[in-house]
Amino acid sequence: MSSSPSHLLLGVGNPLLDISSEVDMKMVNKYDLKMGTACLAEKKHLPVYEELSKLKTVKYIAGGATLNSIRVAQWMIQKEGATGYVGCVGNDDYAKKMKECAEADGVKTHFLTNKETPTGTCACLIVDKERSLCANLAAANEYKVDHMKSIKSVYEPVKFTYIAGFFITVSPDTIMLLAKHCLEQKTTFAMNLSAEFIMQVPPFAKALKEALPYMDYLFGNELEAAAFGKMMGYDTTSVPKIAALASKEKSAGSKKRTVVFTQGSNCTCVAIDGKATQYKVPKLEKKLIVDVNGAGDAFVGGFISQSLAGSEIATCVDAGHYAAQVIIQSSGTNLTGKPDYKTAKAEVVGTETA
């Protein structure tokens, strides 16, 4: 474990080894899974990991939502030591693969190792370019706030802290420690809604609401936005209006919250101070799309990379679109070579107020 060099961006989340393959709907239905969603593994889901691993088409990819975003941000930034990642892994080969993969991409890992529990895995079932995710957190679920307190030299200098909503199921105490630290140090704190169940399960919804006032950025997709609106009691199902209302929720600091909701190939909504702006997503030929898994995570990584550079929102959105479209042209969050991103502004196609 090393605390140098200081990171610009720190991700905290659930390190999972993705076990990914194209399958048919019969297998999806067999495990009572749904396309386009993510869930935590229950007993009925556990055999899916072994079944996937036996397929000739299976691929193993170091992942977890937060790590995917951090890897993409590091790839976009192209500066050694710019990013770091914290989570809990087991003492096994999967953990070694995770560390090797992350650090090969330039992300410095600061793992807590749990010797009693194996490294977490995520089943990724792909059907017609859409995916269903089922996470068996295992060691990732064993992260403790005391570890974060012990690596103060890692998180203290960071300018931007990002946590996917999935981590709410693991350590709300860690989230609040970092949220309050960012507020005190006037640095940026961001979270992602990540999955509908976060808003639907009362303890998780409570933890999300507790962290909300500290969020400078809130990310999500259209399904998560709808679940968030329902949780908050908003009298609308409009994604731009939900974004606008969320941006106006009480803040613990003086900064205005930025809410960013993606909608696949439809417009990306960004709301600040009750006004939602809709940005056009560049068209990508259908034949170029290989796997939409990780598109949302990649968008966040691209967006944050430009935010750290001090770019305006339209450029952050454009970079997010670029990163997402790079990722969906290969299987998994696969990063090769250097980005050829040329700074531009996403096209505004509409606005809406709360």
Query: What are the catalytic residues?
Result: 297
Preceding peptide of 5 cis, ω within 30°: yes
Q: Tell me the residue length of the chain.
A: 354
Distance from C-alpha of 49 to C-alpha of 159, rounded to nearest angstrom: 37
Query: How far from 348 is each of 80, 242, 330, 351, CA to CA, in Å?
Result: 34, 18, 28, 8
The three-state secondary structure class of 41 is coil
Kindly give the pairing relationship between strand 275-279 and strand 266-272. Answer: antiparallel
Token output for 332: 């998994």
**Of all helices (H) and strands (E), which one includes residue 127?**
strand 120-127
Residue found under tokens 């096994």: 92
- Report the first-to-last Cα separation within the chain, whole angstroms: 46
Bridge partner residues of 58 (DSSP) = none
Q: Which of 246, 219, 218, 244 is nearest to 232 (CA)?
A: 246
What is the DSSP track for 197-232? HHHHSHHHHHHHHHHGGG-SEEEEEHHHHHHHHHHH
How far apart (Å, rounded) are the C-alpha atoms in residues 352 and 275?
6
Which is nearest to 178 in space by CA: 204, 211, 150?
A: 211
CA distance 229 to 285: 32
**Residue pair 7/154 in contact by the 8 Å Cβ criterion:** yes
